[in-house]
Structure 1
């Protein structure tokens, strides 16, 4: 087929989709793909595919979730949606196909993933504030561990502090402590404190 201008098609499609939809250049430099961004983080990719098939080229329109959003979906939940149309179809008709065949599946999944990510981000922020609170009350403490998900104190388990270790949140909402002390007196003091704490509980 003649040289294809996917961006021009995307502009026409975006105009027909309405407010909040906007055409953007694609990822390639050959004019055979384009993007359309939409409300609430929606994103569509238009590209020519399947030129080698007997049916000839098709215009594929896909809506997908980025890694951060797809990670928030249940296991094996579909995170990419696509349809194909003939490349020479009028933009208004392509927009109609998108409304009928793509958006009813894609947009609810996108909204669900965004809500789950917002919930996850709030939980992580609250967790970070709790860990910062612990760090403020421990000797020589700083955030560390995998993705800064724990507090290292006294230089960490292998540091030089007389009392040193690591504390992190457990999955049940409690905290897990790993503590090392230098001498028998400190070990006995720690045992006494833990015994007192257990009786208090």
Structure 2
């Protein structure tokens, strides 16, 4: 059986970008880290980068990857693929976005650049815009959680004797995990000194309902210290005065 001639996607893609509008720019895979436009490859098609290009309308905006799968067979052979680009993850927060769809369509390789652009506008861009809206909403939510946990951790860190808050990973409900601790006065002096009798460690995380949660672990308290801690908790819950 004769092999199917694959569309010259690197020749087609610039014309498709031009049909989409003047604000769309097309660069090949090899060029995507060079220029003025933020270009990132999507995860689809890893290991099959031959004959693919990426186009983006702005560094934070919509991006499309056009490619032809050279290994496809049967009815899929020679079809042009257009995938919406997943944004680069932000540096300040961690976003779970595996469930967000940015759009995937295929079309006949015999279509002209104008027809491909029309298919992208009609079928792909609505999916991509919906996915980007979900992604940005989730990013803002994660940043809000991060701000809440950071503020509370630094508030606790301002207490006398507390260590500076340290961020470690992310909590189950999003936002950073902040850890800090306090230790009582050491017993003795010099090399023979022992840790303070009382020690405390705090772990600050966000909650799904828009709040924060603090886990405090205490160790080495004397009886009177433990009584004061528990009394303070009871008074806070019941509103009793000391």
Distance in 1 between residues matched to 2:181 and 2:153, nearest whole Å: 12
Distance in 2 between residues matched to 1:180 and 1:51, nearest whole Å: 61
Residue 31 to residue 179, structure 1, CA distance change in 2 (3 Å): closer
* Counterpart residue number, 1:153: 181
* Counterpart residue number, 1:135: 157
* Counterpart residue number, 1:20: 23
Query: Does residue 1:6 correspond to 2:9, yes or no?
Result: yes
* Counterpart residue number, 1:123: 145
Give the superposition deviation at 1:70. Answer: 7.6
In the alignment, structure 2 segments of 5+ residues that lack a partner are: 30-40, 42-46, 171-175, 184-194
Give the superposition deviation at 1:143. Answer: 2.3
Aligned positions of 1:147-186 closer than 5 A: 147=170, 148-154=176-182, 160-161=195-196, 162-169=198-205, 171=207, 173-182=211-220, 183-186=222-225
Residue 169 to residue 200, structure 1, CA distance change in 2 (3 Å): farther
Which among 216, 224, 227 is matched to residue 188 of structure 1?
227
Report if the CA contact (8 A) 2:179-2:203 is conserved.
Answer: yes
Distance in 1 between residues matched to 2:80 and 2:125, nearest whole Å: 16
Residue 105 to residue 169, structure 1, CA distance change in 2 (3 Å): closer
* Counterpart residue number, 1:44: 64
Comparing both structures, which one devotes a greater share of its residues to helix? Answer: 1
For the residue of structure 1 that corresponds to 2:202, the secondary structure is strand
Report if the CA contact (8 A) 1:138-1:153 is conserved.
Answer: no
Distance in 2 between residues matched to 1:174 and 1:51, nearest whole Å: 50
Query: Does residue 1:113 correspond to 2:135, yes or no?
Result: yes
Cα offsets for 1:95-147 (capped at 9, x unmatched): 11111121122212222321332232133223312222221225232224443
In the alignment of these two chains, the number of paired residues is: 194
Which among 34, 42, 45 is matched to residue 53 of structure 2?
34
> Please, what TM-score do these two structures have when normalized by structure 1?
0.77
In the alignment, structure 1 segments of 5+ residues that lack a partner are: none
Larger RCO (CA within 8 A; separation ≥ 6): 2
Report if the CA contact (8 A) 2:100-2:135 is conserved.
Answer: no
Give the superposition deviation at 1:153. Answer: 0.9
Instruction: Give the root-mean-square deviation of aligned CA atoms.
Output: 3.2
For the residue of structure 2 that corresponds to 1:51, the secondary structure is coil
Give the superposition deviation at 1:79. Answer: 0.9
> Please, what TM-score do these two structures have when normalized by structure 2?
0.65
